Structure 1
């Protein structure tokens, strides 16, 4: 088949690699001049900043994806185990000084001991919590992540039904409630609740089934690919091109073209895409199938005529976006031993923090995330300098504005960045941080909306609430247009690099007519290695 892919983020290029390896004729169209989408990269004055994902979790998913292409994670990437996996700084209760930071280690026993030292009995409670998390994670991998939900096999599998008494209550209560029933100390609750943010949600909004995320970061699962996440993108791009995919940059798709269909359940069928090159010239590209690997809201509301929209604007008006973000890219003179590779800065009243973000208000102070890849990777900063990536969750609201270099972004974005720098300096004990900054660039919700066509300027995609998870999430095949499929964070299975890789495989399963609920068989012959 001739396949046109719209969008060159990780889902799009992974689709290109898998479909080309399966024998299809693949062309991908990306409006930016570089590939990667949210997983972008920016080089400034000897620093190289990843501008998107920075946590390598669910390594089994990456391993499986590379195996489908006849290679391996070990062949493609130089992965380093981070220890500590991350450090948590706490604001502390009002009127009291902050408690000492807490390190989460690569060793599970060390984390059990840490929990026990903070709250007697919490070590044993964590052991049971992680066992439950591992069970939920394993069931999800076998039955709920690699399925298109075209059949109900996942729900009636004996492997699932015998676990339903444990799994169903995890869908009806929040992660916050689930954690609070087992742990009293606020600091421990925050460590276990924070993974909801990776899902574009908050602990009080995400179903407790997502405690499965703790089976990853508390059991030695935080890795880093040397060279940064742009190295991951580069490797998938190379694999896609080696298998014959043609990847076009500076190519903006302006419409999905349709014609008559012979399928009774569809109103039309794709015949190709219309796209505009960097010089403004319009082109038409014929295709038997189109994969929308860009923002689903943009594709549905801008690239299709209204009668052919499976997800029209009225649908999105009922959906909940994940948070937006202000990203602050900092080059800093001198060492910062106070910060490991990953650091989290938690406000004491983080329910108020999350409520502000999801109610459309900028929190003050905010719970902030800081990545210092120069702790692990000497290639991301000049000698005797550090590379900092600071992420401040804010409302998904493009009117907050765009970022810019050297404080030149919008007033709101730069104010949020200033506050975050001051907060990190204060809580981590780096009093002269601001004076040591030699490079500063910001990225705001306006950039996500303008450069990535992101719905509401969100940094992640639709939030993982119960009604926006698993079979309730936007499906990855158009109900109106035959031959139109979707991939990426907007659709099943959801947000994050591993989920986007799985979404690419789900398109492959559609084209193969594969209705299984587990990962695709890994080829035993070199057919997909060409």
Structure 2
């Protein structure tokens, strides 16, 4: 008998945060028979994937790369729908993206095996067969990750001790213990090819020399499966998650800041259990009962601020963690066309070790660190190259991501505060750098809209630990089962989803983390995706284990 067929009260699940992971979790739990309430601090859903509107300009505020298409398609199939039904997705390949490496001509990147083969042969004769073998190996690792390492809570090791895993154990160990930088450097000599295959580390909130080579699987999904964009912007993806969650029965409350996760009165020395959530909105403080709480907020904030007790806050544990990088983001409206830039453009220093050292060399723990330090290897998104709805006619929409160190009480932009002088210096310098490297000499003079955010904004808006922008760095000690369990060790009924828990950073990982919460609650110990569509199977007394 399902919950819908039972006369007993459905289990109440409270989800903290209405970002991508929160909305995905709310939808799946609602579909699985839970009575779901989502509490979101901000007045709009989306979290880091929010949208910024200024007159006829509309900027995606965070994620802008659509990779790992299987993860998106699988998630929609859980709701008995599809990417095609929910979104107008277009693939970019003319070019997919453009690279500007200091001292070299701009490099056009088109995806697909043949295009990649020809590019490598052109820049480094003889490297075509090498990149073919590399991408075939990464495809094998990618499929293995989907089948064995991403859609799992690592609750039973026997699911990993299979002949296919054991047969690849040597390769797997090498891929985990060798860095992405070392793996790429030993295969290719050309600076631009090395950078092309190494920059994926930044989207994992890490540096190439600290990121396991296994994450080269992102090179497979980028260069072979391709790069896509949902017309209307990534806010249309967020809208679809919101719609699916509410259609499944979830209640989503915005402007509702969670203050405390309450627990029952456990006997001394025994584990407590979630009992409710205390939150505040414009009308005052409120309490909502909960059998299950899934925090999609920053995990360090959840453990240190929302749960009472020194053991649950784990200060020594967090002292050993790597928060990853932060960013200064600039949302620019530019008069005239910018044909020099593709939809996606990457600007690299020729010797970029100094860029990574500026961001990752040490953990900045206070605002006394060099607040004007930033990486001169930047990411630019120009969605108006593809989508005419994101900017008025005659103007361009430009998003600039400038990596900076993570730090407590960091610099802020002008979006929600008076902009810190250091933020102004960084954004001005980045605009000048873009102008110089791309040949857009008058870029600064053509900017008609300028909004900025910094590490302090991530800390204020999302309670991000040390103001990190993406989530914990994907170092070896923070990957797979080392990244941390999605269930609390100290409080029964408390679970985690999102970029600060397993499996990691990025939109596909957030969707997978939501599914892994469902698997945890179902006691599903399989290592692959749940069968689609998701049908409720549990009764009230078997849920919430």
Which TM-score band (shorter chain)? Answer: over 0.9
Distance of 1:363 and 1:218 partners within structure 2? 31
- What is the DSSP-based 3-state SS (H/G/I as helix, E as strand, rest coil) of the residue aligned with 2:501? coil
Q: Does 1:152 align with 2:157?
A: yes
Distance of 1:441 and 1:220 partners within structure 2? 33
- What is the DSSP-based 3-state SS (H/G/I as helix, E as strand, rest coil) of the residue aligned with 1:42? strand
Q: CA deviation at 1:400?
A: 3.7
Residue 129 of structure 1 aligns with which residue? Answer: 134
Among 448, 451, 465, which residue is 1:455 paired with?
465
Distance of 1:125 and 1:296 partners within structure 2? 41
Q: Does 1:251 align with 2:265?
A: no
Residue by residue, what CA displacement relative to the aligned partner does 1:104-129 show, whole Å, maximum 9, x if unpaired? 11332112111111111111111011
The answer to whether the Cα contact below 8 Å between 1:6 and 1:292 also exists between their aligned partners in 2 is: yes
Q: CA deviation at 1:407?
A: 11
Among 474, 480, 484, which residue is 1:474 paired with?
484
Residue 269 of structure 1 aligns with which residue? Answer: 273
Give aligned pairs, total.
519
Residue 291 of structure 1 aligns with which residue? Answer: 294
Residue 434 of structure 2 aligns with which residue? Answer: 424
Distance of 1:297 and 1:225 partners within structure 2? 32
Q: CA deviation at 1:75?
A: 0.5
Q: CA deviation at 1:260?
A: 4.2
Larger mean CA deviation between 102-111 and 473-482 belongs to 102-111
**Superposed, which structure 2 residues align to 1:92-107 within 5 Å?**
98-107=103-112
Larger mean CA deviation between 106-115 and 420-429 belongs to 106-115
Moved over 4 A (4+): 360-365, 405-408, 524-528
Q: CA deviation at 1:212?
A: 0.9
TM-score (norm 2): 0.92
Q: CA deviation at 1:527?
A: 10
Among 263, 275, 282, which residue is 1:278 paired with?
282
Over 3 Å counting, the alpha-carbon distance change for 1:336 and 1:158 in structure 2 is same
Residue 336 of structure 2 aligns with which residue? Answer: 334
Among 330, 345, 348, which residue is 2:347 paired with?
345
Residue by residue, what CA displacement relative to the aligned partner does 1:134-179 show, whole Å, maximum 9, x if unpaired? 0111100000000011111343122211111211111111111111
Larger mean CA deviation between 139-148 and 101-110 belongs to 101-110
**Superposed, which structure 2 residues align to 1:370-409 within 5 Å?**
370-404=380-414, 409=419
Residue by residue, what CA displacement relative to the aligned partner does 1:381-438 show, whole Å, maximum 9, x if unpaired? 0001100000000001244411015995111111100011111111111111111111
Q: What is the Cα-based RMSD across aligned positions, in Å?
A: 1.9
Residue 73 of structure 1 aligns with which residue? Answer: 83
Larger mean CA deviation between 148-157 and 339-348 belongs to 148-157
Residue by residue, what CA displacement relative to the aligned partner does 1:39-73 show, whole Å, maximum 9, x if unpaired? 11100121000110000000100000000011111
Residue 227 of structure 1 aligns with which residue? Answer: 232
- What is the DSSP-based 3-state SS (H/G/I as helix, E as strand, rest coil) of the residue aligned with 1:124? helix
Distance of 2:270 and 2:49 partners within structure 1? 34
The answer to whether the Cα contact below 8 Å between 1:332 and 1:385 also exists between their aligned partners in 2 is: yes
Over 3 Å counting, the alpha-carbon distance change for 1:524 and 1:466 in structure 2 is closer
Over 3 Å counting, the alpha-carbon distance change for 1:201 and 1:266 in structure 2 is farther
Residue 124 of structure 2 aligns with which residue? Answer: 119
Over 3 Å counting, the alpha-carbon distance change for 1:303 and 1:407 in structure 2 is closer
The answer to whether the Cα contact below 8 Å between 1:407 and 1:414 also exists between their aligned partners in 2 is: no
Distance of 1:369 and 1:169 partners within structure 2? 30
Gaps of 5+ in 2: 1-10, 365-369, 539-545
Over 3 Å counting, the alpha-carbon distance change for 1:511 and 1:430 in structure 2 is same
Residue 89 of structure 1 aligns with which residue? Answer: 100
Larger mean CA deviation between 378-387 and 154-163 belongs to 154-163
The answer to whether the Cα contact below 8 Å between 1:407 and 1:440 also exists between their aligned partners in 2 is: no
Residue 217 of structure 2 aligns with which residue? Answer: 212
The answer to whether the Cα contact below 8 Å between 2:348 and 2:377 also exists between their aligned partners in 1 is: yes
Larger mean CA deviation between 211-220 and 443-452 belongs to 211-220
Distance of 2:26 and 2:270 partners within structure 1? 25
The answer to whether the Cα contact below 8 Å between 1:333 and 1:384 also exists between their aligned partners in 2 is: yes
Among 188, 196, 200, which residue is 2:201 paired with?
196
- What is the DSSP-based 3-state SS (H/G/I as helix, E as strand, rest coil) of the residue aligned with 2:146? helix
Distance of 1:402 and 1:154 partners within structure 2? 46
Residue 166 of structure 1 aligns with which residue? Answer: 171
